[in-house]
Amino acid sequence: MRSRSLTAVLLLVPGAALALAAESADFTARELTQALYRAEQGARIDLSGKSLRELDLAGVDFKAARLAKADLYGTNLAEANLSGADLSGALLDRAVLTKADFSNANLEGATLLRPTIFSGLERNIAEAPRFTGANMARTGLSGWLDGSDFAHADLTGARFGRQDAYSEGLLASRVRMTSCNFSGAKLAGASFRGAQLVFARFTGANARDVDFRGADLSKADFSGADVAGMDVTGAILDGASFAGATGIDEIRGLVQAQGGDRISR
C-alpha cells in the first residue's frame, strides 16, 4: 500500500465536523483511525471526495462520516461500522465488506462491484453485510452477495449485475444473491436481470416494474408484495410464493417463465 504524507494537520473542532484539508489526497489508515477516535460525539468527519483506496480499515467505527464520492476501491471494511454514513456516489468496487454494517447509510448512486463478502472459500451467510434501511437508489451492485440484508432499504432504480451497452440493448452478468432479505424494501424499477435469487425474501416489498428477466427466483418469497408490472420473462419461479401479493395479474412474462403457471398464490 502506498500513501503520501498529509500536507495539513487534522483539526478537530468541538461540536463541528472534522475535515481533512482539501489538499490531502491520500493518508494512512492510522491517521484516519486516530482522527475518528478523537472525534467528539455527534461530530462527523468530512471525507467527501477523498481517497481511502486499499486502506486496511477493518473494524473501524466511521461515526456516520461524510464519504460522498469517496474512493474506497479495494478498501478493507470488514466488520466496519458505516451505519448512517453518507456514501452517496462513492466507489466501493472490490472492497472487503465481510460483516460490514451499512444500516441507514446513504449509498445513493454508489457502486459496489465484485466486493469480497466471505472470509474463506466457503459461503457463510452470517458474514454478509447489512444494508437495512439504507438509501441505495440507483446503486450499482454485482458479484456474490449471498445472505446480505436489504430489509426496508430504498433500492429504487438499483442495478444488480454489471451492465454493458451493446447495440442490441443492455446485458447484465450474473450476480449471486441467494437467501438475501429484501423484506419491506422499495425496489420499483430495479434490475435483477440474470441474478441468482434462490430463497430470497421480498415479503411486503414494493417490486413494481422490477426487471427479473432470466433471474433464478426458485423458492423466493413475494408474500404481501406489490408485484404489478414485474417482468419475469425467462425467469425460474419453481416453488416461488406470491401469497397475498398484489398485482399478480399484471406480471409480465409469466408464460415465458419456468414454473410461472404453478406459482403459489
* Strands 140-142 and 159-160, bridge-based pairing: parallel
pTM comes to 0.86
For the chain, 265 residues long, give each residue's pLDDT as a single digit of tens: 344 333 333 433 333 334 443 333 367 899 999 989 888 877 899 999 999 999 999 999 999 999 999 999 999 999 999 999 999 999 999 999 999 999 999 999 999 999 999 987 777 888 999 999 999 999 999 999 999 999 999 999 999 985 544 323 343 456 999 999 999 999 999 999 999 999 999 999 999 999 999 999 999 999 999 999 999 999 999 999 999 999 999 999 999 999 988 787 7
Beta strands 163-166 and 169-172 are: antiparallel
Q: How far apart are CA 77 and CA 100, in angstroms?
A: 6
- Residues paired with residue 170 on neighbouring β-strands, in sequence order: 165
